[in-house]
Structure 1
Amino acid sequence: MSDLILTLICTIFQVCLSTDPATISCEYKTVPPGFIYITGQQYECILQSDYPYVNNQIVSVNGTHIDGNSDTNVTMLTINDKKITEIPNLNSHFSNLKYINVQKSSLKALSRQNLANFKDSLEHLVIRNSGIEIIQEDLFVDLTKLVTIDLRNNSIFYISSVQFTNLPNLRNFLLESNNCINPQTQQDIKNSMLPSDTTSMTAYIQSIKDSTCGLINPEFLVNLYLNSKLLIDIDAYKAEQIVNTILDVLTQRNDDFDALQDQLNVTANNLTALTQKYQNSIAENEELHVQIQQLKVKVTDLESMAEQCLDVNGTCRFTDDETYGYSCIAHGINVTKSGDVIDWSGEHDSASADEDVKALIIRYLNVQFVPKKIAAAFSNLKILTIQNCGLKRLSKDDFDDLEELLELRIAGNEITSIEAGSFDGLTALKVLDLSNNKIKVLPSKIFAMLNALTYLNLSNNSLTALKSNFLPSTNFIDSFIGTNNQFTNIESTFVWRLRSASLIDFTGSSCDLKFDKDAGDQFLAFYNVLLRNC
């Protein structure tokens, strides 16, 4: 029986202090620029009646959207109903809400909890004709994006100045037609609430001056003006205008006219001095700007000189490497054009010459294209490494004179394209590493002529397909690394040609599989799983 009575009471008065889920209804409209503080077209939800609950969680929003719009497009919430006693929590539905426009309601009081849900998006808060009397001290703590606070035509009698110290974007603050702001609040505001720029300051002065009681100390206005951060660009004429406005207020509200007038005159003189200081700083900044431009020209000249110094002549540090044998470690080269030929130089040990060089190692240099005629300098070269050099593409004539090459490592570059036939002349090649580039597509038969190939690394590229005709028909590849690509099409014949391999690795891609013979994996089992999943 008691539950029935409670239900009847809630139905009659439409107010239930509970946390039951609630549903609201919206009428959706498009609002053009110019309405209240709107600077661009907004998509509006006009809250319908039937929202009687307090502290309720909103689980759904009813209403028909205008074509092409959804909840995420809603940027403005409008309330115009005396039955509504709180601002509903709609953040989970209207995540991009910038405007709350309450023109008539029964809110009475505002709390931090009412508004905290909109902290990530709310810029304009307009609540008029709602009988608000008290604003909690921490109301605006979370709303750091606020540009406008419009609380006109309410019954506010107290506002703490502490509320406005963390609102760096505040530009409009309006309080006309409210109850008296008590003297203590007046003093708090004078000492603490100093708006951050001229626009918000002027709006606040006007709102206080026109409020119902007007209990405001003119010295407060002066302090606001003196502490504004943008005053140094206001000339003496504008300063005099503000001073005259404040003197008019003083005539009406303060008997100590002469003392304050002297103070204001001193203020005007100080403002004039600040204006002159600001103008001087502008001149100094212009001179500094000229110096900066001159330095930029010098930097450009130095860069040009550096490019001329870093020509295509290369220097070798010859060394007998344990891994590669007698090697040239390159430095001081700059290959920026296709077709550049390197003139190599460097001091050999007493028993060696250019024809003894087995490996050419080029790392961390500006080599955008493969240097030409490498074999003309190093006729017995077996290993070529071009790593982390910014290499952009491979052409079919890049390796024409390197038919005896055994290892080609071109990892960590910027390669996006490989021309068909680029590797056809490398018939003795055993190791090919193209990892960590930006390759998306491989041309047909790209590795088909590499009958001696035993190691192929294509990892960390953007490949989507592996075709059967990529590989040679022979079956010598022992390790294939294809990790961290974007494979969507791996032909079964491609994998079948790897059936004698010890390692096949596709991990880190959509086909996340790995075959490791040394770990006891069976190729046929791996092959069947790949056919089903890839």
Structure 2
Amino acid sequence: MVRWILLFLLLTILISSCVSFNGELAEQECPDECDCHYFRINWVTDCSNSNLTQIPFEDLSMNVYVLDLNDNFISEIQPFPQDIKMRRLQMAGNQMTHLKKEYFKGLTYLIDADFSGNQIRKIDGDLFPDSAGFITLELQNNPLDPVEGIFLSISTLLYLDISNCSIELLDDHFFDGTPALTTLDLSDNPIRILHTTAFAKLTSLETLKLNNCNLTAITEDVFTTLVNMKTLELAGNNFIRETNWELVLSPMPVLENLDLKNSQLNELSDNMFANNHYLRVLVIAENNLSDIDVGQAIRSLSNLETLDLSYCNLTVPLSEDTFANVTKIRSLYLSGNTLFASDLLVALSPLTNLQKLSLSNCGLRRLPDTFHKFKSLQELDISHNPLNDAFVKLLAPLETLEYLNMGYSNLSYIAPTSFSKMTSMRRLILSGNDLNNLEAGLFGNLTRLESLELNFCGLRRPLNATLFFNNFTYTDLTELQLAGNPLRVSKTGPLFPKQLSRLQTLDLSNCNLTFLPPDAFFWTRNITTLILSGNHFHSPNDFHFLELLPKLEVLDLTYNNLSTFSPREIEFNPQVTRLKLIGNPWKCDCSVAVLWDWAHMEKGDLSILEGSTIGASDVTAGKHKRKRLLVCNYDQKVGLPLVTNKTVAGRKPFKQQRTISALNRTWAKYVRESGCERSPNLFLTRVTRSADSLGYVNAEGVKMRLAEHGPNLWAAATINACVVYVSIMAIIGVVYLVTKRKKIVRNMDKNN
């Protein structure tokens, strides 16, 4: 019995210790010029946009996972400390001209590096001599000098981006030192003619991008060894010279995706894809195929599932044979071609399994009476056509349709029976039509509708109850977009009817709103995402309507007129996980620090404030990683403060006195240099909630003591808790030993 009691006590203590752990990880070292924080469980040091001329090695944690030095003025790198455990190094947008291998000696843990957007001309071949697991290198947007022989010797490299690097000629041995590459981006280089054996060693290559390289021709043996190629992108080139496409493409038998968009193709040979039987996606949009019989060129692609012929200036009439041999096509894009309803009626007839059809911007004044044949059609785009309102009724047979885009189609009237049979509809787009008056019952039968888009429709009032069935809740309708409408909102009353009570995402951006009434969302209290960007909200007192949204998770207030915002405005929204505030004229005052502390201390996650810290998208390989930051401005009339070595509790002090030279500051920098005290209310709320949840009888006494002693008491309490924990463990150990000794004595007595 005693053993089970001891085990119960031990488990109770262990569980209590786990519960008391609040998820905070140990603070690491951080340079004065940087913002440091945890991203998941990894220590991130963000020194971007800090006017640095050298890496601040002093106070740089050896446990740094991501070091972000983007957009500084660094031209030389001193050797990194030997014990540093950095995995990703980001130095895009600096002033380096030469990458030397001595810069990176000892970086045994390094996996990824980004040097895009520098002035790099030379690179040592053995660039990362000690990085045995290095796999990703980004060098795009650098003016590299011509390379003779091997470019890099990194046998583990899988991903290489050298797009827009002024490469005109690829040496035959250019990639011999990177045989493991699976993804290679050479886009935006003025290569012009591709006649090289540089790719011979890249037998593992699966994705090759040669977009916008001004290629005029490709010789027949360039891709001979690329037997594992699955994706080839050649968009934006100028193939005016004769290229034997059959021989160029035939060495790639498992090719699945081919993009030849906007490459000046004016012919497609009958045998062009003769050896590409597994091709599933073919994009030849934006080429002049005016005199081409497309059906002849694609007849061998029996496995083709997606075909994009958008903006190809098709003049040869589409016939019943055009798609006769490619009946597996599920997605067909014909947008931007001048088409006639009569031709479509015949040409589309073999595609009875069609699921997606795009006919946008085709000059259609009427629709083909053929939609009754498409029993599986799920998505239809007929936007940007000068449709006559009367022909909309031809869509009525599409009972399986789930997505319909009729945006910008010159519609001024839609009959209330237009969608009556489309009971499978999930997303409906009517944006860009002048629909001042929506007929009663228009959306009544769309009982499975999930998303309704009415952006820029000239609506002056939100949707009313007459558009839907009476006394019916549209349980699937969770998204409503009304952006760009000049809405006139009354001072009282709900914006939306009871039928939309399950609404979760609402877009009211750019609606010229200056306020919303307190009971705006009386019937729509399940909203989780509210987008109010591009309006004219000015005062924090304008947000009483948020009190009716207890489930709100995302609030978008970007590009309004806010200069201050308090956590009190969202005290009734405990589920908020994303607050978007970029683009407002924020003042550099302690209200910024209060909001920062709320995210950090109350919510436990700074990323709640979008633009405050590095997110997943900021550490992903690719061309678009420049994060937008939260910025505030000092009052120009007051002048800039002098930052001394302040010792505000919870904020890392500077080692030296600093002078601020710029009016605008990122929130991260301002909070640290401001001297604003951490909000005691946030701290008390956090601790007293824990006290109340644990059932302390004298919770008010805890509050009084915390108010009197603050963080010192918390530190003392932590130490005392550790002492108590150790004492209890010691007592349990003693009791266990005593119990075991008594058991041994009893056994000895029995034996005697």
TM over 0.5: no
Larger radius of gyration: 1
TM-score, reference length from structure 1? 0.34
TM-score, reference length from structure 2? 0.25
Larger strand fraction of residues: 1
